Each structure stands twice: as structure tokens, then as C-alpha cells.
Amino acid sequence: MVTTIAEGEAGVPVRFEATLGEGQSLVISVPGRLHEPGRALEISRAGGRLLVTGIDSAPKLVRAGP
């Protein structure tokens, strides 16, 4: 899967490349401006198809373990 994102038509494009196996997914997130939420895009593979879902805000980091 190859994904290219940019901020509008004038933004500098950034390209992401990944290989997703069945049932795998990835999230591409970018920070928002000061006091604004970030943006995120989830790409997953299910049933031999790629699914693209927009996420309202970037995922939050969660600490696991002691």
C-alpha cells in the first residue's frame, strides 16, 4: 500500500509505504496546530480489500505495564 498525504494542494507531500497482511492495520497521524486536534487516517486490510477510515483526532499514547 502506498499513501501520499499533503496539506491542501500547496502542502509538501509525504509518502508512506507498507505491506499489510490480512487483518492488519496501520494509523498515519499528524499533529494539529496549537489548541487544535490532530488528524489521523487508519488503513486496514480485511477480506482482501483495503479500508480507509478517517479518525477525528490522533490516537493518544497509553502507557502499558508497571
Tell me how many domains the chain contains: 1
Model pTM score? 0.68
pLDDT digits (tens, 9 = 90+) for 33-49: 888 888 888 999 999 89
Structural domain contains residue 12: no
pLDDT over 90 (residue 19): yes
29 domain-assigned: yes
Q: Is the pLDDT of residue 60 over 70?
A: no
Q: What's the rounded Cα separation, in Å, for the pair 9 and 46?
A: 31
65 domain residue, yes or no = no
Q: Residue 58 above 50 pLDDT?
A: no
Domain that holds residue 49: 21-60
Does residue 34 belong to any structural domain of this protein?
A: yes
User: Is residue 27 included in any domain, yes or no?
Assistant: yes
CA distances from residue 42 to 34, 51, 57, 65, 66 in whole angstroms, order as listed: 23, 8, 11, 25, 29
Does pLDDT of 63 surpass 80?
no
Q: Could you give the 3-state DSSP secondary structure of residue 10?
A: coil
Does residue 48 sit within a domain?
yes
